[in-house]
Structure 1
Amino acid sequence: MTRVDAKRRNETRRDRRPDGKRDPKSAITQAGIQVRVVALATVVAAVFVTLGFRLWYLQVITSEDSALSAHASSTRATDLPPERGVIYDRNGKVLANNVPGLNVTIVPNAIPREKVEELTGILGADEEAVLAQYDAAFSSGNQYSPMLVKENATREDVMYVSERTEEFKGLVVNEDYVRNYPENSLASHVLGYTGAVTPEELGGGGIYEGLEQAAVVGKGGIELAYEDVLRGTPGRKEYNVDALGREVEVRMADGSRYDGRDEEIPEQGEPARVTEPVPGKDVVLTVDVELQKTAEKELDAALLRAQENGYAGSGGALIAMDPRNGEILASTSRPDFDPQLFVGGITGAEEVEQFDYLNSEYANAPFSNRAIAGTYPAASTFKVFTGMAGLVSGVIDAATAVTDTGECWRPGGATGGCWQSWRENGGYGTHGTQNYAEALMDSNNKFFYEVADRIWNATDDEDWLPKFYERFGFGSLTGIDLPGEAAGRVPTREWQEEAGGTSEDKLWTVGRWVNMAIGQGDLLATPAQLIRGYAAIENGGTLVTPHVAKEIRDQSGRTVEKIEPEPAARSDVSASALEETKDGLRKVTEEGGTAEWPFEGSRLPMLGKTGTGELTGGRFVNWYVGWAETEGRPLIVLAMVEDGGAFEEGSEVTAAPAVRHVIEAFYGMEQSPDDPFRTAEAPLDTAGGTS
């Protein structure tokens, strides 16, 4: 045994009593107990400190966030729709406002689908649209938010369903404002219309994103373009609810109300909190109501003249614009519609029948704004841009003359093909020898064929002429503040190669330039583009941005924003080229000009251009665009008639008289007794133009 082992055995013996048991006092000393107590106390203190800190953090540091979170989980909110802004004409005439009405909404979660279907029948609502919105509310998790069933419901229908709230649970009737168009269909394409927001619009990520299902929004025209301005800011009604979405009430163990009353949806009771809505701002238009009325009457008269001559006269457009700044004083499109039809939804047999007709092929697309969305061959109105291209490129000057002998015209070096002018085609003889101004006066196709051919041979850039047309905004959006604008088309070599169906169709030749030079071929323009191009001739070369909104005002009538869009570009055409072009446009309404007849007896110095373009199926589009050279405020006017006549029954019979009468009315001129198309329209009291 080692000395260490012996020592351990002796110590063990000392720890034992005589009876052999270990001494308990020797196992845990007093000092050891104290150490353990201190350790335990430290652990307990640490736990309490941690709990205390956490309690302090929740109650002091994050108390506001916690309160908001708790509040959100115990409230349900619905939007209070704001009163929509009013739309005025430039002189303060109301074009769209609001009148008191009754809107019926439901909370989808509170009413079965079959009852919603029954409710739409009673209220005359659009069953398909309402049920689609009802289904979408569940799929999107919005079944607790009110959704619109019927806007502007009749008081009789409201009284009927209100007396049957037990049958139609979740139904709420709100006294609200509904849209009103006091001038009915006047300027309908400019104004647009309103309607209930759809599930697709709510989920589309656009301007309707985040709105309530019961929202009424702009669907076209100014109502849509300035939706964010007109709409205003919704208010809120907040209702206290429990975790199950029920009214906060004293309840029995089984969850039923302690007072024994039937369960009601919170929205039918008094809200806990209300935030009032902020009305939308008002929009003042550049449009003048009285000139707009004249424009619409004159366009209707133009269509009637086409029909009296045996043509369809199926549609058209008329625009009156200030060439200095692009303000649209009148804009109309035919056929049109009454925006009041959409207020309250399409209901009743008569409204449904009317709506179905408007959407049929027989109605000829009345919801299309032809002034900005219709694309047509610009025909002879386009010759001014080809002429200026010739002047700018240097292939012609003001004295350059081209002789028409009646023979087929062909591009230089060509042996096939035959390009004739309207005179030969109509049996009216030849143009003879004419310079640029005279060619505009007589709308000489062959002169402008020659210009296009000379430019083709003078440049290596086969897109030079299309690029020149683009200087005047053709092939691009004008930027007008209305939805649905079309860009038109200026064909180029690249476009032709992509669009051509065969190898021959893909060829980009001088022949395509020649057709384009007189506004035919594959070139397409909108009325808005064409009037802007002519405005650049009148104003010295500035490509203005057309617009129909003038300013935005708050509810006190204070102007908060003036709408004055910057010009899009400069055409970079010399003053001499513009003046030589105007010289030709003056001759158009004088003796020997294509518009001599319709401007007979006019006391205003008129200038402009006629145009008759070929559509498919042997149909024609008639154009006239022009203005009066006066010391008063300038106004340029364009009229377009679909399915009008040709030759002597074309633009000089349909479009030109309409433009004349609108210009004369604007300047307060009475129609001359020598006017062959006199409509006896009273002049406007404008003293040289509206404000």
Structure 2
Amino acid sequence: MSPRTTSTSTAATSRSRLRLVVVQVLAFSLFATLFVRLYYLQVIGGESYQAQAANQSVRDIVVQPQRGLIVDSQGRPLVANRTSWAISVDRTLLGKLDEDSRTELVRRVAVAVDAKPAAVEARLVTCGDPGSVPEKCWNGSPYQPVPVATDVSKEVALRVLEQPEDYPGVLAEQQSVRSYPRPYGINLAHVLGYLSPITEDEYDVAVEKDDQSLNGASVVGRAGVEKQYDEWLRGLPGYRRVAVDSMGRVLGDDSTIESTPGDTLVTSIDAKVQAVVERQLAERIKVQRATFDPVTGRNYEADSGAAVVLDAKTGRVVAMASQPTYDPDVWTGGISESELARLYSEDAGTPLLSRATQGQFAPGSTWKPFMTAGALTNGYSMDTMLPCSSGFQVGNRVFRNHESGAYGTIGFTKALEVSCNTFFYRIGYDFWQRFGSDPADIDAKDPLVAIAKKFGFGSRTGVDLPGEAPGRIADRKWKQAYYESQKDYYCDISAKPQAEGTSDFVYTFAREFCLEGNLYRAGDAVNFSIGQGDTIVTPLQLARGYAAISNGGTLWTPTVAKAIVSPEGKVLRRIAPHKQAQLDVPRKYLDFIDSALQGVSREGTMAWKMGGFPLDQVTVRAKTGSAEVYGKQSTGWVASYTKDYVVVMMISQAGTGSGSTGDGIRAIWEALYGIDGEDVRPARAATPGTLPPAKLPQFLDDGSIMPPAVGE
């Protein structure tokens, strides 16, 4: 072997050893790095990573609180809670399924809960994501099972629970939902209101305000006291942490933060009185629908009505009914689209509309006591005598008395007893001549308009129920504003040839309105004096006005709520009656009107319905009214009161006031005072002691609620 060959072999051996050393160093470095990393993960950062791993295997589930009770003045539950089953879908597990398996699971769930697969899919989409549908999408946590059906039957829940292999990731759990005990069979839907799921916008606002009482799965009040006192009733949610496996299946509870139940709302409603009021209103509507109307030649429509009972001394609402009404239970568990459409349907009578606070009607002759107050405080005397003729000429029109009756020259007392229109026409015309004979002067003085506004008409009463209507005083300013808003519409009609199908009346009206629809003429003034024309009121407004006559001139803000009480029975807030105003009407005039209205029940237009009633022991004052409405049958009213209560009932398209509602009014008074024939038996009264209780129900340590002691 040559030296050159030996040298080459030695060099190759050296390179091989070097490569081996390099490989050994690299291997050692890798093992050292791995060891250091493992040491860091297991020793130095072990606790932190352990916590993170634990967090990945647990989920926070919102535990909805039990909503607070709503009770009447005697402690009877008006709204309570019951347990129901809800079906929820775990979207985490759903996302791990292939498309076919996911579709099949959604189909099975839809069949189980009697829904369409598309509806279930809509509920599984997070609000704000592409494809989300408002009111149907999911507002809650992305890690929480999404409820796709609530208030399902126990059979459906058991099917899901007993067949987990067919419903992977589908949960059946019990939850609390609203229930309606209906003491004495009452409905009270328009006062109580209803609930529905929180909207996306509401949830965003709650997050902005850091409102801990609301979450994506909350339900909130939408009407009635459920809405007005929602913050008190809703409570605070709790949280349940559950351990889950890699497939998202719940293994068990990790920890729980209990929810806090909502507070109890004590109302001034008396369920027993409410039952009588609802029954009488429904009965009177039924009777009138079967009664022939000689004016129109057909039966009365009696399409809607309302009744209100107020505590005359405080303005508290004792009972309030409206027809048509609806079953508040239809909202529990989610309302169907067809049922929701029916509640808003005019063909069904718009059942969601509360006629007592949102219905607006011409008051007719129930307006006259307030016009009497306006006349007496502006120059007329309690001894004033005016003709009650069969008609009163204003320009080229004769305004008629009811049924063209005439009673000669009479005073205010007789005018109220027989409800003489022409007597009040003369007063309205006199004020128009003296203060506002210029029909274009929108600032002219009008004592009758002024007194109506003092009694609170034309503005909301402030009752603690949302959505109250303001009514309307059709004075000069209103007429000018209405003219400006409608002028173009009517001028357009009158500028064209009379269209086919347009009546002569409409065409003539459009032409006259276009030219001078803003002018407040004498006819407007005389119509206003008897509660006709464009002036409208709500039944609650009218009841409050009569309460002010009863109690000597105090205008109260009507209230439904009396107190908020904690789940432990502690009174958190008392809701005292609110005095809105003291009327600037001398007491002698209110007493004079009071005396005249006693005559309405004894000798006047309500007397034929009060025969045999013990008026010497229970002095009921009353005023009847029949308001004419263009194109419709007349609206019947009776407004009545004692020194304790005010009772008002009206029925639209039902004929005369006493004829349509008189029997119902009498029956309510009999229930309030325990009247049996001609005997007054307080022990039989709907309310113990015949008067609304001044104190709250008693909340006992065991959770039961007892009525206030009689006389307290």
Secondary structure, aligned partner of 1:488: coil
Which amino acid in 2 is paired with 1:557? G
Shift of 1:200: 5.4
Shift of 1:516: 1.5
Residues 130-174 of structure 1: CA distance to partner in whole angstroms, max 9, x if unpaired?
Answer: 654433435279543443322222121112233455565543333
Shift of 1:314: 2.0
Q: Is the 8 A contact 2:304 2:651 kept in 1?
A: yes
Which amino acid in 2 is paired with 1:323? A
Residues 390-415 of structure 1: CA distance to partner in whole angstroms, max 9, x if unpaired?
Answer: 11121x111111113434332xxxx3
> In terms of mean alpha carbon deviation, does 77-86 or 537-546 score higher?
77-86
CA distance in 1, matches of 2:621, 2:60: 62
Q: Aligned runs of 1:569-588 on 2, under 5 Å?
A: 569-588=581-600
Matched, 1:437 2:417: no
Alignment partner, residue 217 of structure 2? 214
Per the alignment, do residues 439 and 126 of structure 1 end up closer, same or farther by CA in structure 2, a change over 3 Å counting? farther
Alignment partner, residue 510 of structure 1? 522
Shift of 1:79: 1.9
CA distance in 2, matches of 1:192, 1:222: 6
CA distance in 1, matches of 2:339, 2:234: 28
Q: Aligned runs of 1:366-515 on 2, under 5 Å?
A: 366-394=351-379, 396-410=380-394, 415-424=395-404, 429-459=405-435, 461-462=443-444, 464=446, 465-500=448-483, 501=487, 502-515=514-527
CA distance in 2, matches of 1:507, 1:165: 76
Matched, 1:635 2:662: no
| Aligned positions, number | 576
Matched, 1:223 2:226: yes
Q: Any stretches of 5+ residues in structure 2 without a counterpart? A: 1-49, 96-101, 130-138, 292-298, 437-442, 488-513, 694-712
CA distance in 1, matches of 2:531, 2:117: 48
Matched, 1:598 2:609: yes
Secondary structure, aligned partner of 2:464: coil
Shift of 1:532: 0.4
Alignment partner, residue 334 of structure 1? 323
Q: Is the 8 A contact 1:420 1:446 kept in 2?
A: yes
Shift of 1:611: 0.5
Secondary structure, aligned partner of 2:525: helix
CA distance in 2, matches of 1:69, 1:490: 68
Alignment partner, residue 20 of structure 1? none
Which amino acid in 2 is paired with 1:660? R
Q: Is the 8 A contact 1:542 1:569 kept in 2?
A: yes
Shift of 1:354: 6.0
Per the alignment, do residues 290 and 68 of structure 1 end up closer, same or farther by CA in structure 2, a change over 3 Å counting? farther
Per the alignment, do residues 118 and 609 of structure 1 end up closer, same or farther by CA in structure 2, a change over 3 Å counting? farther
Alignment partner, residue 654 of structure 1? 660
Secondary structure, aligned partner of 1:176: strand
CA distance in 1, matches of 2:596, 2:65: 55
* Selected match of 1:687 from 659, 682, 689: 689
CA distance in 2, matches of 1:217, 1:148: 16
Secondary structure, aligned partner of 2:649: strand
Residues 496-524 of structure 1: CA distance to partner in whole angstroms, max 9, x if unpaired?
Answer: 12212323212223322221121111111
Shift of 1:365: 1.4
Which amino acid in 2 is paired with 1:402? L
Alignment partner, residue 275 of structure 2? 293
Per the alignment, do residues 417 and 69 of structure 1 end up closer, same or farther by CA in structure 2, a change over 3 Å counting? farther
CA distance in 1, matches of 2:51, 2:451: 63
Matched, 1:96 2:69: no
Residues 228-282 of structure 1: CA distance to partner in whole angstroms, max 9, x if unpaired?
Answer: 1111011123468xxxxxx6xxxxxxxxxxxxx75216xx343543211100011
Shift of 1:203: 4.7
CA distance in 2, matches of 1:219, 1:208: 21
Secondary structure, aligned partner of 1:223: helix
CA distance in 1, matches of 2:591, 2:348: 43
Which amino acid in 2 is paired with 1:377? A
Which amino acid in 1 is paired with 2:638? Y
Shift of 1:578: 0.9
Alignment partner, residue 621 of structure 1? 635
Q: Is the 8 A contact 1:203 1:209 kept in 2?
A: no
Which amino acid in 2 is paired with 1:343? T
Shift of 1:457: 3.3
Per the alignment, do residues 129 and 506 of structure 1 end up closer, same or farther by CA in structure 2, a change over 3 Å counting? farther
Which amino acid in 1 is paired with 2:689? A
Which amino acid in 1 is paired with 2:459? S
CA distance in 1, matches of 2:300, 2:254: 66
Matched, 1:283 2:265: yes
Q: Is the 8 A contact 2:391 2:401 kept in 1?
A: no
Q: Is the 8 A contact 1:383 1:519 kept in 2?
A: yes
Which amino acid in 1 is paired with 2:281? L
* Selected match of 2:310 from 308, 311, 321: 321
Shift of 1:129: 6.5
Secondary structure, aligned partner of 2:369: helix
Matched, 1:667 2:673: yes
Alignment partner, residue 196 of structure 1? 197
Which amino acid in 1 is paired with 2:432? W
Residues 547-602 of structure 1: CA distance to partner in whole angstroms, max 9, x if unpaired?
Answer: 111111111222221111421222211112211211221111122x1111011111
Per the alignment, do residues 562 and 295 of structure 1 end up closer, same or farther by CA in structure 2, a change over 3 Å counting? same
CA distance in 1, matches of 2:304, 2:116: 30
Per the alignment, do residues 141 and 230 of structure 1 end up closer, same or farther by CA in structure 2, a change over 3 Å counting? closer
> In terms of mean alpha carbon deviation, does 605-614 or 158-167 score higher?
158-167
Per the alignment, do residues 377 and 204 of structure 1 end up closer, same or farther by CA in structure 2, a change over 3 Å counting? farther
Secondary structure, aligned partner of 2:356: helix
Matched, 1:148 2:147: yes
Q: Is the 8 A contact 2:449 2:475 kept in 1?
A: yes
Shift of 1:541: 0.9
Secondary structure, aligned partner of 1:375: coil
Shift of 1:358: 4.3
Secondary structure, aligned partner of 2:60: strand
Shift of 1:420: 1.5
CA distance in 2, matches of 1:335, 1:383: 28
CA distance in 1, matches of 2:531, 2:51: 66
CA distance in 2, matches of 1:82, 1:498: 49
CA distance in 2, matches of 1:494, 1:87: 43
CA distance in 2, matches of 1:344, 1:433: 64
Shift of 1:215: 2.0
Q: Is the 8 A contact 1:108 1:137 kept in 2?
A: no
Q: Aligned runs of 1:115-154 on 2, under 5 Å?
A: 115-116=105-106, 119-124=109-114, 131-137=121-127, 139=129, 143-154=142-153
CA distance in 2, matches of 1:127, 1:290: 46
Per the alignment, do residues 208 and 311 of structure 1 end up closer, same or farther by CA in structure 2, a change over 3 Å counting? farther
Residues 102-135 of structure 1: CA distance to partner in whole angstroms, max 9, x if unpaired?
Answer: 2223344543685556524421358777654433
Q: Is the 8 A contact 1:86 1:96 kept in 2?
A: yes
Residues 634-681 of structure 1: CA distance to partner in whole angstroms, max 9, x if unpaired?
Answer: 011000112201xxxx211221221221112111111459xxxxxxxx
Per the alignment, do residues 70 and 651 of structure 1 end up closer, same or farther by CA in structure 2, a change over 3 Å counting? farther
CA distance in 2, matches of 1:72, 1:476: 57
Per the alignment, do residues 614 and 121 of structure 1 end up closer, same or farther by CA in structure 2, a change over 3 Å counting? farther
Q: Is the 8 A contact 2:639 2:648 kept in 1?
A: yes
CA distance in 2, matches of 1:528, 1:109: 53
RMSD over aligned Cα atoms:
3.1
Secondary structure, aligned partner of 1:567: strand
Shift of 1:209: 7.3
Which amino acid in 2 is paired with 1:378? P
CA distance in 2, matches of 1:117, 1:561: 50
CA distance in 1, matches of 2:122, 2:519: 51
Q: Is the 8 A contact 1:201 1:209 kept in 2?
A: no
CA distance in 2, matches of 1:539, 1:68: 70
Q: Is the 8 A contact 1:133 1:198 kept in 2?
A: no
Secondary structure, aligned partner of 1:398: coil
Residues 420-477 of structure 1: CA distance to partner in whole angstroms, max 9, x if unpaired?
Answer: 21131xxxx3132111111111111111112222223333642533333111111111
Per the alignment, do residues 79 and 620 of structure 1 end up closer, same or farther by CA in structure 2, a change over 3 Å counting? same
